[in-house]
């Protein structure tokens, strides 16, 4: 495995530009699931002096950094919840005790779902990290790349805390817009155009367009079809992309797949030597109180429906989301009942879920 960052090649088809890795620019990846957005953003990320990898998928894909030859063990910091202890050769710090100064010695600081007892602890911790700890950076000499692998996850986390979808989206837009003043380039990716506001696309310095499938491009980017064959954007190779710069230039791009990136179905905990090295304790008191009062909202309802469609097993869904099988059954039944009565599920529609009108067969 090479110690050099994966290659990125650009062929400019309108204007002449470049990707500036010395300034805190914003990077947005658009494309369907499995299009290679995360691997592309990793290739971008490792060109910055520091990477802070947050809000990854539930499969802990961020742990793949631990096997990258670009970082030695003492250059990586694992960020965890207060209820979790992680063994291994890497430095570990709970998010609640982290300061900006604590992050300075490390070139890669990462957080994954396995480092938290449940999704609530993860969301609370990462909100603290982004909106309090990172926001206290008074000045900067080098850009620290903050990687939010799925934009919707940050918005979901804010809704969990604010209980208001409008405020949550406004918070995300504020972070995305203002981070450059604190020296944070931000990289996000999204599957659905509706998961993020048009304002996020307008604020992005670099937009990387991967496989768009039958969804096509959103209206504000449809002008790209005048330069690129629409069919070629439906299902291009995983190493190919279109780069749109906010200043106007457009390029055809090709990048090398990061050798360390997590493979589909891979047990990444086992692959990096962390299987069996994570111990879970009691949640902090403030989170225990939140757990007792927490009701299943539209985000978690949508997660229940989507996860059940994938595995058809209520016990698996319950274990994944730290809910009882009865709660899962109730939400699937209510989902079906509302569709039969109104033609759609209001909670799924609110979260722009493609399953808003799909009846689910209730099994185990």
User: Is pLDDT above 90 for 1?
Assistant: no
Q: What are the Cα distances from residue 124, in Å, to 120, 141, 278, 290, 302?
A: 6, 29, 20, 10, 20
- What would the pLDDT profile of 190-245 be if each residue is shown by its tens digit? 765 555 667 778 889 999 999 888 878 888 889 999 999 988 888 888 899 999 99
pLDDT-based confidence at residue 293 (cuts at 50, 70, 90): very low
- What would the pLDDT profile of 14-36 be if each residue is shown by its tens digit? 999 999 999 999 999 888 877 88
Q: What are the Cα distances from residue 200, in Å, to 29, 152, 165, 189, 190?
A: 11, 12, 16, 11, 11
User: Is pLDDT above 60 for 7?
Assistant: yes
- What would the pLDDT profile of 146-175 be if each residue is shown by its tens digit? 998 776 667 666 656 655 666 667 777 888
Strand partners, 26: 186
Burial class (CB in 10 A: 0-12, 13-18, 19+), 118: middle
More confident residue, 57 or 331: 331
Contacting residues for 288 by C-beta, under 8 A, at least 6 apart: 282
Percent of residues, the chain, with pLDDT higher than 70? 90
- The maximal CA–CA distance of the chain, rounded, in angstroms, is 58
In whole angstroms, give the CA distance from residue 73 to residue 1. 16
Structure tokens at 37: 């957005």
Element housing 174 (H / E): helix 165-178
In whole angstroms, give the CA distance from residue 210 to residue 226. 17
In whole angstroms, give the CA distance from residue 171 to residue 232. 35
- What would the pLDDT profile of 110-135 be if each residue is shown by its tens digit? 999 899 988 778 888 888 888 889 98
pLDDT for res 294: 52
Burial 294-326 (b: 16+ CB within 10 A, else e): eebbbbbbbbbbebbeeeebbebbbebbebeee
Radius of gyration of the chain (CA): 20
Structure tokens at 279: 């111990």
Helix (H, G, I), strand (E, B) or coil at 300: helix
Least confident of 152-161, 264-273, 296-305, 350-359: 152-161
pLDDT for res 159: 59
pLDDT for res 330: 84
- What would the pLDDT profile of 240-273 be if each residue is shown by its tens digit? 999 999 999 999 999 999 999 998 889 999 999 9
- What would the pLDDT profile of 59-117 be if each residue is shown by its tens digit? 899 999 999 999 999 999 999 999 999 999 999 999 999 999 999 999 999 999 899 98
């Amino acid at each position: 495995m090479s110690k050099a960052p994966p290659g990125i090649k650009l062929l400019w088809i309108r204007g002449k530009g470049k990707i500036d890795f010395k300034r805190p620019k914003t990077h947005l990846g658009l494309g369907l699931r499995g299009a290679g957005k995360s691997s592309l953003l990793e290739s971008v990320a490792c060109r910055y002096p520091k990477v802070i990898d947050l809000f990854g998928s539930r499969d802990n894909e961020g742990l793949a950094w631990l096997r990258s030859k670009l970082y030695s063990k003492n250059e990586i910091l694992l960020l965890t919840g207060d209820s979790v202890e992680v063994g291994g050769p890497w430095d570990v710090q709970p998010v609640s005790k982290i300061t900006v100064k604590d992050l300075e010695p490390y070139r890669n600081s990462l957080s994954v779902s396995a480092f938290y007892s449940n999704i609530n602890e993860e969301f609370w911790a990462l909100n603290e990290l982004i909106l309090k700890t990172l926001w206290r950076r008074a000045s900067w000499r080098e850009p620290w790349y903050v990687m939010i692998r799925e934009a919707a996850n940050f918005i979901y986390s804010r809704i969990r805390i604010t209980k208001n979808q409008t405020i949550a989206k406004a918070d995300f837009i504020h972070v995305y817009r203002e981070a450059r003043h604190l020296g944070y380039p931000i990289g996000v990716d999204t599957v659905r155009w509706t998961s993020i506001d048009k304002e996020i696309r307008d604020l992005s310095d670099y937009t990387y367009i991967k496989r768009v499938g039958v969804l096509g491009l959103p209206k504000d980017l449809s002008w790209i079809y005048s330069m690129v064959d629409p069919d070629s954007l439906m299902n291009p190779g995983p190493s190919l992309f279109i780069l749109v710069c906010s200043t106007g230039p457009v390029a055809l791009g090709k990048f090398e797949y990061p050798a360390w990136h997590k493979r589909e179905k891979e047990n990444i905990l086992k692959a990096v030597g962390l299987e069996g090295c994570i111990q879970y304790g009691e949640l902090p008191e403030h989170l225990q109180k939140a757990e007792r009062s927490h009701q299943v909202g539209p985000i978690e309802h949508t997660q229940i429906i989507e996860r059940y469609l994938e595995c058809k097993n209520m016990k698996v869904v319950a274990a994944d989301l730290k809910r009882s099988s009865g709660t899962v059954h109730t939400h699937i039944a209510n989902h079906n009942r509302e569709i039969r009565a109104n033609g759609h599920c209001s909670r799924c529609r609110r979260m722009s879920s493609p399953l808003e009108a799909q009846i689910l067969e209730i099994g185990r």
